[in-house]
Structure 1
């Protein structure tokens, strides 16, 4: 883990240094252009055209100004981006952001799906922003959310069709294990101070206390109380009780 963290830090330092070199080169070119323009004016010449070079090599993403005219210093002429430097911005609930932040030292892996390709893309969390914001959900509920910045680790040739502002879905892998006994989380319900399920024995529902491990809200790890070949009842209603006859549907 320390070696991976050191590698990511070194890579970030390298990218920062390369960006600083690009900025310095752009400032030099801008100064040279201004000098040439001033020298021409000093000789009574008025250049009709001044070349403005982009600070980086990349793809034109947007042209805010579509026609000629007077521009002010600092006004954006075009937006240029490096397609190989895409980052993913993800909004999560603040409660989930706390869990993701706690596991960042281990390098939480991310899986990007529904991006347009056939296979998921591997990624890794880079930044969990320190401040949250309020957003109204589709159900009209106020939620506190946090933005997370992640990088795509997959080779660029696999996601070269992705562009700025494209939509993806992110799945954060906070924990994973092998040979995990799991059931739908909808089969669980509270009993006394623990958890329980109704096991289907072929004709009747049988109440079984269980010990739950990890739970992501969709699937739950069962540490104790069930076997791999046991069938459980999901979304048990009030009509289900221990010993009641049931039938699959």
Structure 2
């Protein structure tokens, strides 16, 4: 090849390389994006609020009449047995009852006797309800073992049996309380009668249930007014959780909804179930000074007592109400979806280019959302797409 020809070929090649470099320099660069893969996984829709533990049944010990009490030796946390003497009460010292006061005292005795009679008459109904609930639970357990009854039916039967037993225990406690109030009323009448003022007869207020002293409201001896709280007794082994939720969340919480109690001090969450939702709301001011409408939700603890034996009344927990859940839900990051005039859409990555697809979202749970239609498992979507991203643009996935 002659020298002029080689020179011409070299110029042509150089021109082609320069032209290719110019074309490449003007080509749009791939836009770096963050991506995620559509997959099927368990999904829970949860409502979270702070709750507080409370004793299921607490009893306030008080004198039904004006009386003189001895010093109360009990401390919060002390164990008491049903029927154990708690407070010694006497008629007011150096105080004789006149005819009118004696008549009022007799009326209180009659009222206390009527209350005791009523509580005794209510006991058979509570016992019958407890027996019926126990039989229904046994029948449901048999049906559940035969795969006839569902887990929900078994849980409902257990809850009904527990509630019936609690009602029976409360009926017994009310009877014991009424008996103690009758004794105190009789003591007040006898102690204020003529001939007994110089020798006051001491009576006792007894524990209506077996449990522990939750609070001591009055310690020193002296006169007390009718109904003045002296002691508070309950069983800290029977707790329930009260949670105030937003009213718009309360409409999605029904009795029987599963609850997880977290941040209570233990390593694993505790299981619970919603017992009741208050039918009315109230206004509560948040920490930011915003007025909110709240509704109280009461839930029972289902986890074994051994797991939360050190949990007491008035303790803080994080209540997580599971209002919906599924084991296999096609889901995408919530940041991958964006609104359009037609509804919702998302960008997928196909052959290193952005493809816009219309999406039908479902339930939302935190940072993920259920995908009903528009995306399939294995699709790669762009998370938090840039405003300049358009369909057909070249993209490059950024490493996390």
**1:245 and 2:395 matched:** yes
Q: 1:200 to 1:134 in 2, by over 3 A?
A: farther
Larger radius of gyration: 2
Pairwise CA distance, 1:51: 2.6
Q: 1:50 to 1:212 in 2, by over 3 A?
A: same
Pairwise CA distance, 1:218: 3.3
Q: Pairwise mapping of residues 1-249 of structure 1 onto structure 2 (< 5 A)? A: 1-2=152-153, 4-35=155-186, 44=196, 45-47=199-201, 50-101=203-254, 104=255, 107-200=256-349, 203-242=352-391, 243=393, 245-248=395-398, 249=400
Q: 1:97 to 1:39 in 2, by over 3 A?
A: same
- Structure 1, unmatched stretches of 5+, are none
Q: Which has the higher contact order (CA 8 A, sep 6+)?
A: 2
Pairwise CA distance, 1:36: 5.4
More helix by share: 2
User: Where does residue 137 of structure 2 map in the other structure?
Assistant: none
- The two structures, once aligned, show a CA RMSD in angstroms of 2.6
* Whole-angstrom CA distance in 1 between matches of 2:275 and 2:369: 28
Provide the TM-score with structure 2 as the length reference: 0.55
Deviations 1:184-228 (A, max 9, x none): 323322223332223355855432322222223432112233344
Deviations 1:96-138 (A, max 9, x none): 111113xx3xx21111111110001110001110111222334
Q: 1:24 to 1:187 in 2, by over 3 A?
A: same
* Whole-angstrom CA distance in 2 between matches of 1:168 and 1:142: 23
Matched residues, number: 244
Q: 1:185 to 1:91 in 2, by over 3 A?
A: farther
Q: 1:246 to 1:152 in 2, by over 3 A?
A: same
* Whole-angstrom CA distance in 2 between matches of 1:34 and 1:140: 49
* Whole-angstrom CA distance in 2 between matches of 1:204 and 1:66: 79
C-alpha contact 1:181 1:222 (8 A) present in aligned 2: yes
Q: 1:134 to 1:33 in 2, by over 3 A?
A: closer
* Whole-angstrom CA distance in 2 between matches of 1:90 and 1:39: 47
Pairwise CA distance, 1:143: 2.2
Deviations 1:21-44 (A, max 9, x none): 111022113323544565567663
More strand by share: 2
Structure 1 SS opposite 2:371: strand
C-alpha contact 1:205 1:246 (8 A) present in aligned 2: no
- Structure 2, unmatched stretches of 5+, are 1-151
Of the structure 1 ranges 224-233 and 153-162, higher mean CA displacement relative to structure 2 is found in 224-233
* Whole-angstrom CA distance in 2 between matches of 1:33 and 1:143: 46
Provide the TM-score with structure 1 as the length reference: 0.84
Q: 1:153 to 1:202 in 2, by over 3 A?
A: farther
Q: 1:146 to 1:202 in 2, by over 3 A?
A: farther
Q: 1:80 to 1:199 in 2, by over 3 A?
A: farther
